[in-house]
Chain A
Amino acid sequence: MMRSDSSKLALFLLMTPFFLWIVLLIVLPQMGIGYVSLREKLGPREYAFGPGNYIDFLMEPIYWHTLLRTAWMSILVTVLALLIGFPVAYYIAKIARQRSRTALLLLCLIPLWVSDLVRAFGWIVLLRESGLISGALQWTGLASGPVEMLYNDATVVIGLVYTVVLFMIVPLYSTLDGLDDALLEAGYNLGGGGFTVFRRIIVPYAMPGIVAGSIITFMLTAGSYLTPILLGGKNSSWFTEQIYNQFITRYNWEAGATFGVILLAFTSLVIWLGLRLTGQSLATTVAKG
């Protein structure tokens, strides 16, 4: 009896912070946001309950264009992060010697010691008209005048990939680390060439890591604010910027809340579609990995 009581207490104590976290920081605010999004503003202090804010969103092309653009660019960033992160993770997990692995992973973590904001400004220092790269190009004579490399989509994508690629590398590393070399050798021994072994053994084995990394990367990118604003400027048209504008600039909490709910629903939909298209499910990949 004693034992089961104390284990119940331990469970209770362990679960309490978790529940408080989930309920206070995630469930309650989201319910509040959901409630506000369904509140139509008729006049000062005069509200009605209805889907009007959502209809407004659909009627205004600039809003959903921004949302689609954000989704597409986030998918692009996720794919690029996967293409860059996979070889890095594979190298650290399978090719680098045991002793250097920790050091290499730490090297990947170093950018995280600097805040997002400072890192974005780092890019600005490099890429602006009067920046280092522009200066170097002029000095070597490759460019005749100052070159502006900020405020375009390519820069935003590069900046975002740089910010999120680590969150792709870590889950990939941890799955690839468990890949026994004997599986690869068996793949070759049974007649598979390099590409076959990659496609039929390495990728399926790493799938839990690929799915986890892609979901994290996609969510982080779609929800990021600083990097697109600072590197893309007024042209970035990132959806989080719309949310910020509604809440802060226009003081339109109803529209802001609506956009928030839409962003959450839409990114979840994209992930669901992605899982369906690649034939994966959360239960068989993330839970297993």
Chain B
Amino acid sequence: MDDLSCVNVTKNFGGFTAVKDVSFGIPSGSFFSILGPSGCGKTTLMRMIAGFEKPDRGDILIRNQSVLSRPPHKRNVKMVFQHLALFPMMTVGENIAYGLRCRGESKAQIRDKVTAILDRIGLPGVEDRKISQLSGGQKQRIAIARCMVLEPDVLLLDEPLGALDLKLREHMKIELKQLQHQFRTTFLYITHDQSEALIMSDAVAVMNGGRFEQIGPPKELYDNPVSSFVAGFVGDSNRWAGKVGAVAEGVARVALAGGDSVLVDIGRHRADTLSAVEVFVRPEAITIGPGNDGASLSGTVDSLLFNGANSRILVRTASGRLVEVADQVGVRSVAEGDTIQIGWPRERALCFPVLPA
């Protein structure tokens, strides 16, 4: 059963369509992310689910019941806000108790639940602290506890890691995933950071211009993107514009802008629809050494970018194109200025038609 589903949801602001015909379902207990650049409509979508905006068309169902007619405080979806929105005039305990008190639970019951949830998130005994006395990561956990204590059908998280520094963000990604496992609650997570979405989610929807471009498990988005937007937005890629020349047996020769030509599988695209295309090759698909015809380039090493396991070699081809190559296990067998050949398995090059803007 789906805990949350949206059916053809559309929202306009004046003449601008923020969300276009979005449909999806989130199975119970899963971690679902909506990934998209800022302004793609993901926050509007979340605000509609929470009840702060009304969709112009379509339906939103929680546990198979339409919630469109219910005001925000009558919906059993709880939200962790971008800047957390903890109540500064209340203590930690009062913040967590707020929702329970709104429900009219007894004092003893509230006290027990607050103690239990603080234990569960690993912050026992902080009831009487002020919000300003907490660290960024602790605030994060309190904001989640404040929602989880109400046992929501769905927990919405609106880029909650955005305000944290890098180290803490990396840590919180793992912690969030663990919390979700622990609570077994359906999480709907909104982010523009693809690594957050990929690491934590069971399924990710990539959103662009108010529409969902693709929904799938992270690995599928990464390996088999359906559009040039998804290919470019999820993970790193070398992205080359070009024109399709001859197509034979499902393999097209693409003349890249500025010189060079490569062969790509046209996959599920129809040959006659392809003329202007973009070719995507991931840096880790490329190896140093001569490759097969149409799946290799030659050039000189422009620079070496060291970043631990994510180190890169920048190769400049004769036509001036810069190609990012993953520096496998940091071997660094090359030096700046070396002339080298690079190649990749042909099936790792993807091509998508350039859509008219």
Q: Do A and B interact with each other, yes or no?
A: yes
**CB within 8 Å of B: which residues of A?**
180, 182-183, 185-193, 196, 200-201, 204-205, 207
Task: Please tell me if the beta carbons of B87 and A192 are within 8 angstroms of each other in the complex.
Answer: no
Complex contact A188–B72 (CB within 8 A): yes
| Contacting pair B73 A191 (CB below 8 A) | yes
Q: Between A and B, how many residue pairs show CB distances below 8 Å? A: 61
Looking at B3-11, B98-106, B247-255, B340-348, the stretch in contact with chain A turns out to be B98-106
Say whether A180 contacts B85, CB under 8 Å: yes
Look across to chain B and name the residue whose beta carbon is closest to the beta carbon of A189. Answer: B79
A-binding residues in B (CB < 8 A) = 50-52, 71-73, 77-79, 81-83, 85-90, 98-99, 102-103, 146-147, 150
Hey, which chain A residues are within 8 Å of B81, CB to CB?
Answer: 182, 185-186
Set of chain B residues within 8 Å of A182, measured between Cβ atoms: 81-83, 85
Contact of B98 with A185 in the complex, beta carbons under 8 Å: no
- Please name the residue on chain A nearest to B47 by beta carbon: A185
B85 adjacent to A185 (CB under 8 Å): yes
Q: In the complex, are the beta carbons of B103 and A191 less than 8 A apart?
A: yes
* Residue pair A191, B83 in contact (C-beta under 8 Å): no
> When A and B form their complex, which 7 residue pairs have the shortest distance between CB atoms, in order from nearest?
A190-B99, A191-B102, A182-B85, A186-B85, A188-B72, A204-B89, A182-B81
A189 and B82 within 8 A (CB): no
For B150, list chain A residues within 8 Å (CB).
190-191
What residues on A are CB-neighbors of B73 within 8 Å?
A: 188-193
Return B244 CB to nearest CB of chain A, in Å. Answer: 49
CA distance A182 to B78 in the complex (A): 13
Distance between B301 CB and nearest chain A CB, rounded to angstroms: 49
In the bound complex, do residue B87 and residue A189 qualify as a contact, i.e. CB atoms below 8 Å apart? no
CB distance from B109 to the nearest CB of A (A): 15
A-B pairs with beta carbons under 8 Å apart, 9 shown: A180-B83, A186-B86, A189-B73, A189-B78, A191-B73, A192-B73, A192-B98, A193-B73, A207-B89
Besides A191-B73, A192-B73, A204-B90, 4 other A-B contacts (C-beta < 8 A)? A186-B81, A188-B52, A189-B79, A191-B99
Option from B51, B89, B99, B147 in Cβ contact (under 8 Å) with A205: B89
Contacts of A191 in B (CB 8 A): 73, 99, 102-103, 150
Q: Which residues of B contact A190 (CB under 8 A)?
A: 73, 78, 98-99, 102, 146-147, 150
Least CB distance from B156 to A in Å reads: 9
Q: In the complex, what residue of chain A is closest to B75 when comparing beta carbons?
A: A189
Please determine whether A185 and B52 come into contact, CB atoms closer than 8 angstroms: yes
Tell me if B87 and A186 are in contact (CB < 8 A).
yes
What B residues does A183 contact at CB under 8 A? 85, 87
Nearest CB in chain A to that of B149: its residue: A190
Distance of B67 from chain A, by nearest CB (Å):
13
CA distance A190 to B75 in the complex (A): 9
> Max chain A CB contacts within 10 Å: which of B73, B83, B90?
B73
Q: Tell me the minimal C-beta distance from A135 to chain B in angstroms.
A: 49
Whether A185 lies near B72 (C-beta < 8 A) is yes
Bound form: Cα–Cα A186–B355 in Å: 40
Among residues of A, the one whose C-beta sits closest to the C-beta of B98 is A190
Q: How far is the CB of A289 from chain B (nearest CB, A)?
A: 12
Closest to B77 in A: A189
A residues within 8 A CB of B72? 185, 188-189
Which residues of A lie under 8 Å from residue B71 when comparing CB positions?
188
Which residue on chain A has the smallest CB distance to residue B89? A204
CA distance A230 to B99 in the complex (A): 52
Q: Are B98 and A200 in contact (CB under 8 A)?
A: yes
Q: How far is the CA of A187 from the CA of B71 in the complex (A)?
A: 13
Please state if A201 and B99 are interface contacts (CB–CB under 8 Å). Answer: no
> A207 CA to B73 CA in the complex, in Å?
24
Shortest distance from the beta carbon of A200 to any chain B beta carbon, whole Å: 7
Give the residues in chain A near B103, CB-CB below 8 Å: 191
Docked CA distance A188–B52 (Å): 9
Closest A residue by C-beta to B86: A186
A285 vs chain B, min Cβ distance (A) = 11
Chain A residues, CB < 8 A from B146: 190
**CB-defined contacts of B89 to chain A, threshold 8 Å:** 204-205, 207
Q: Report the nearest B residue to A182, measured CB to CB.
A: B85
Nearest CB of chain B from residue A75's CB, rounded to whole Å: 25
Chain B, Cβ-Cβ closest to A184: B85
- Point out the residues of chain B lying under 8 angstroms from A201, CB to CB: 87
Q: What CA separation (Å) do A193 and B99 show in the bound complex? A: 11
Question: Which chain B positions have C-beta within 8 A of A193?
Answer: 73, 102
Taking a contact as CB atoms under 8 Å apart, the answer to whether A192 and B85 are in contact is: no
CA distance A190 to B90 in the complex (A): 15
For B82, the chain A residues whose CB sits under 8 A away are 182
In angstroms, Cα B174 to Cα A48, docked, is 82
Residue of B whose beta carbon sits closest to that of A196: B102
Residue numbers in A under 8 Å from B147 (CB-CB)? 190
Smallest Cβ distance from B104 to chain A, in angstroms?
10
- Distance between B148 CB and nearest chain A CB, rounded to angstroms: 11
- A205 — which chain B residues lie within 8 A by C-beta? 88-89
The interface residues of chain A lying within 8 Å CB-to-CB of B77 are 189
Q: In whole angstroms, what is the CA distance A185 to B52 when docked?
A: 8
Looking at A180, A185, A204, the one whose CB has the most chain B CB atoms below 10 A away is A185
Residue of B nearest to A207 (CB): B89
Q: Which residue of A lies closest to B94 (CB)?
A: A200
Complex Cα gap A180–B103 (Å): 24
What's the minimum C-beta distance from A180 to chain B, rounded to whole angstroms?
Answer: 7
